[in-house]
Amino acid sequence: MERVTDLNFWIDGLLKSNLNSIIYNMRKDYDSVILVSGSGMVRVGKSVIAQQIGYFIASRLNTPFQTEGELPNIVFSGKELITSAKKLPKNSVIIYDEARGELDNKKVMENITKSLLDFFAECGMYNHALIMVLPDYFELPKSIAINRSECLINVLRIPEDAIDEEGNEVVSFERGVFEFYNRYGKKMLYILGKKNYDDYSLGKKYRSFFGDFPDFFVVNRKNYEEKKLEHIQRQRGKNREDHKFAVALKTLCNHISQRKAQEELKNEGLNITQGRISQLITSVSDIEGQVSLDKR
């Protein structure tokens, strides 16, 4: 471990060496995608290590990394990702934090995948370093998980024996540990783990190294948490409105055909395909079915 940047935080030596290689090639007109996962778990420190990596890269490239105020280097949606990528100077660092306000991993990852593909298509010429903080590595499509990303940093929760305040023997979950996978290593983890029910343990022999990171927030923690909470609340509101629309559409289609519903919506300025109408109606039926199961 050694101290780095003007913030003087600790970084693992092997991690620093690998980041230096990424920085060197970014100066030669390359971009870079770094994935940060947490073995499918939450609150293990993914955002913390992502910020440290991002600040270190930015400091070496002499590009701005905002730690106060609006935090344009940290985004929580695809729209913010594209906006920041176009606004920031070339060779900047952007952290795309998953910021999920629900537990629907599949839906979250579909949104993340679309955002990434849009980012690559529109912003590749800026040679940015994109650090992806994501719920689950195995939910990414192969094209991104294996081909498009440079490395994977998987954050772990380590169990340790401890004694609680009443003198009982307990297991304490400790943060601050990660495993690093290079291109080949993350490919083997993806191939082996994905076909075995997303088992992260199957890739251990392919990881490059194992390291520690400090509990040190690079940006203003209060600003970060407020921005993240604002995004989650906004997304929940949007999800509620989307659901209301889907319920109304399903009710309408109980009385008229989907084709007729499509025509009526088009007359009102909403050009929605029959396939999308079917998808929305199915989403309502799925939720109603789950509620029925929950009441049993």
At 81-140, the pLDDT tens digits run 888 999 999 999 999 987 554 445 566 677 778 888 888 888 888 899 999 998 789 988
Q: What is the pLDDT of residues 52-73, one digit of tens each?
A: 999 999 999 999 998 887 888 9
For helices 13-26 and 46-61, the axis angle rounded to 10 degrees is: 50
Residue of 233, 232, 129, 147 lying closest to 186 (CA atoms): 147
User: Distance between the two ends of the chain, CA-based, in angstroms?
Assistant: 54
Mean pLDDT of 189-197: 92
DSSP bridge partners of 173: 159
Kindly indicate whether the domain formed by 2-219 is annotated with CATH number 3.40.50: yes
Q: What percent of the chain has pLDDT over 90?
A: 42
Mean pLDDT value across residues 202-218: 93
For 175, the 3-state DSSP assignment is strand
- Residue pLDDT, tens place only, 150-179: 999 999 988 888 898 889 888 887 889 999
**Which residues are CB-contacts of 13 (< 8 A; sequence separation ≥ 6)?**
1, 2
Interhelix angle for 105-123 vs 78-87, to 10°?
Answer: 20
Q: Which two tokens stand for residue 172?
A: 């304490």
pTM of the model: 0.76
Strand partners, 155: 178
Residue of 76, 83, 126 whose CA lies nearest to 101: 76
Q: What are the structural domain ranges in the chain?
A: 2-219, 234-294
What are 237-251's pLDDT values in tens digits? 555 555 556 667 777
What's the number of CA atoms in the CB half-sphere (13 Å) around residue 253? 22
Give the model confidence (pLDDT) of 259-283 as tens digits.
787 777 777 777 778 777 776 677 6
